[in-house]
Amino acid sequence: AVISVILFHADFQFFAGGFIGVDIFFFISGYLISKIILTKLKDKNFSLLEFYERRTRRILPALFVMMIILLPFAFYIMLPSELLKFSKSITFISGFVSNFLFCKESGYFEAESTLKPFLHTWSLAVEEQFYIIFPISLIILSFFKKYWTIIFIVTIFFVSLFISEIGWRLKPDANFFLAPFRV
């Protein structure tokens, strides 16, 4: 998944659809997180606080280091108008909603996107949005019979697949950047 994304960004034509690597990552991550949550719920030892604490320890240090490293370069290289956009992206990143900002501003594949040092955080935002909604949904469903969880997951899968299939034609930027199309 990672190699296909890297080769895509390196302009290897064979990997022109390399962004599929992000979807592969989302699929694998979603599977692993689901397995962890469902196993712990079954064993009656799932803690939402512990879950979020583990995600925080895994994601935030690298994110903050990257943001801190890029700040001096931004001040030195960017024009004031670019610096404003840069600062706005930091604000959205901090709230794990940068995917909404980048969706609204421009597409991932447009020329202007190469001037956005935090553009790649859209996928992190989608992942974090999943981490907020999905575990809470599974906790609620754990109070019901197991088949309701299966029905929920299968329904979400088909609804997301359906809106994604429509989305790439009608709203390609939203289809790329927003969580409902990626579930």
Question: pLDDT tens, 5-20?
Answer: 777 777 777 766 666 7
Element (H, E) at 151: helix 146-170
User: E strands of 7-78, at which residues?
Assistant: none
Which tokens in the block code for residue 31?
């599977």
Which tokens in the block code for residue 146?
């197991």
pLDDT tens-digit series, residues 138-156: 999 999 998 999 999 999 9
pTM given for the model: 0.85
- CB within 8 A of 130, min separation 6: which ones? 26, 30, 33, 179, 183
**Do 21 and 9 meet the contact criterion of CB atoms below 8 Å apart?**
no
Mean pLDDT lowest among 75-84, 110-119, 156-165, 170-179: 110-119
* CA-based nearest residue to 120, from 107, 108, 106: 108
Residues constituting the chain: 183
pLDDT tens-digit series, residues 63-102: 999 999 999 999 999 999 889 989 999 999 999 999 999 9
**Do 177 and 108 meet the contact criterion of CB atoms below 8 Å apart?**
yes
